[in-house]
Structure 1
Amino acid sequence: MTGRNGTRARRAGATRLAALLAAGALLALLLTGCGVRPSAVVTGRPAPDGPAMGIRLYLVWHGQLAPVTRPVKQHLSREQVLRMLAAGPDGYERSQGLTTEVPPDLVPTAPPSSRAESIGLTVTMSGAVTTLSAIAADQIICTASGMAAEGQKPAPVTISGPDGSRPPRLCPY
C-alpha cells in the first residue's frame, strides 16, 4: 500500500507543479504585454459626403508600392487616372511620406487598349519606358490594371513608348 500512496503523492505533486508552471507562464505573458509600442495619433482624411467614389493609384512608400485611394466625384478613364499618377502625390499624400518614381511628363498618348496582337492591356506613353525603374513601371502597371471591371481577372500590362516596349507584366502587388 505504501507504494501506491507514494505514487499518488508523486502524481499530485507533478500535477501541482505543472499547474504552478502554467500559471507562472500566463502571469509572465500578461506582465510583458503584447509588444506593441505606443504611437502618436494617426489622422486620416475627412469622411466623404454621400456615396464614396475613388480611384486607386499606386504610389511609393519606403521603396515599396503602396495603393492609395483618391476620392473623385465622377468616373475617370484609365488615361485620366494615369495622368493623375504622373502628377504624383497630392499634398496630403506627400505629408504621409508617399512619393512616385513616374516622371511627371510621362503621360499616356492615347487611351490604353487591348489589341489582338498583344496579351492584356497596352499603355502607350509619351516618353521613354525602357529606362523606367522597376517600381515606376509597376506603378503604371498596377494603376492601369487596377481599373479592371469588377469580377474581371487582372490582365498583363504592356507599357510602350517611343523607345520600345516593356514585356507584358501582371501587377506584383
Structure 2
Amino acid sequence: MSVRRALVRPLLTGGLLLTLLVAGCGVRPSGVISGRPAQSGASQGIRLYLLWRGQVAVVVRPDKVNQAPSPEVSLALLLAGPQEDERQQGFTSEVPAGLRAVRSAPPTGAVPGSPAAVAGGADGLTVTVTGPVRQLSTDAADQIICTVADAAAQAGQAEYFVPVTIVGSDGARPAVPCSIR
C-alpha cells in the first residue's frame, strides 16, 4: 500500500500542475471590452441612424402611432439631432445643425403623401435639403441615406438598399444605397 501511495501522490500532483499550466496557456489579460448601449423601449418604432463611437448605428425611437413612419417624419427627426437620453448614451450626429428638409408641392414621382423633401422615382429616392450637401462627411451622408431608405422600406415605398440622392443648395451627391447592414 505504501508503494501505491508513493506512486499515486506524485502522479496526481503532476496531473494537477499540468492541468493548471495548460489551462492558462495563451490567455492574455485585456481591458474591458464593451458593446454599444442596449436598445431600450419598444423594439419596433422609428429607426434613425446616429453615430456611436464614430460608427453609424441604428437607434429605435418608440412610435406612439404603431405604424410605419414616413421617410419625411424619419428625416425630420434625424435632422433635429439626438435626444437627451441618446446623447447621454454617447450617440452623436454629424448632420449639420440647421440643415432642414425642403418642403414644397410634391414633384412628379414623389413618395405618395409626402412633400418634396423625399421623392421616389425609377432611379431611387431623392432627398432635398437646405444648405450645401457636397461637403457633408461620409458619416453624415450615411445617416441621411440610411434613415430615409429604412423608413421608405418600412412603409413599403422602396427596397431597403434603394439608391438615395441628396440634393442641396450646392448640387447633388451621387446616388448610393445605405452601406449599413
User: TM-score, normalised on structure 1?
Assistant: 0.70
Distance in 2, Cα, partners of 1:25 & 1:121: 60
- Residue of structure 1 equivalent to 2:64: 73
DSSP 3-state at the match of 1:146: helix
Shift of 1:34: 9.1
Which structure's CA Rg is the greater one?
1
- Residue of structure 2 equivalent to 1:115: 121
**Contact 1:53/1:73, CA 8 A, preserved across alignment:** no
Cα distance, 1:159–1:22 mapped onto 2, change above 3 Å: farther
CA deviation vs aligned residue, 1:40-93 (integer Å, no higher than 9, x gap): xx7763x45xxx541111101122111111111124321111111011110111
* % same residue: 43
Structure 2 stretches lacking a partner, 5+ long: 1-14, 103-115
DSSP 3-state at the match of 1:113: strand
How many residues are aligned here?
146
Aligned positions of 1:1-173 closer than 5 A: 23=19, 27-28=23-24, 37=32, 45=40, 47-48=41-42, 53-74=44-65, 75=67, 76-109=69-102, 110-116=116-122, 119-147=123-151, 148-149=153-154, 152-173=159-180
Cα distance, 1:125–1:44 mapped onto 2, change above 3 Å: closer
Distance in 1, Cα, partners of 2:33 & 2:168: 48
Distance in 2, Cα, partners of 1:122 & 1:133: 18
User: TM-score, normalised on structure 2?
Assistant: 0.67
Tell me how large the CA RMSD over aligned residues is: 3.2
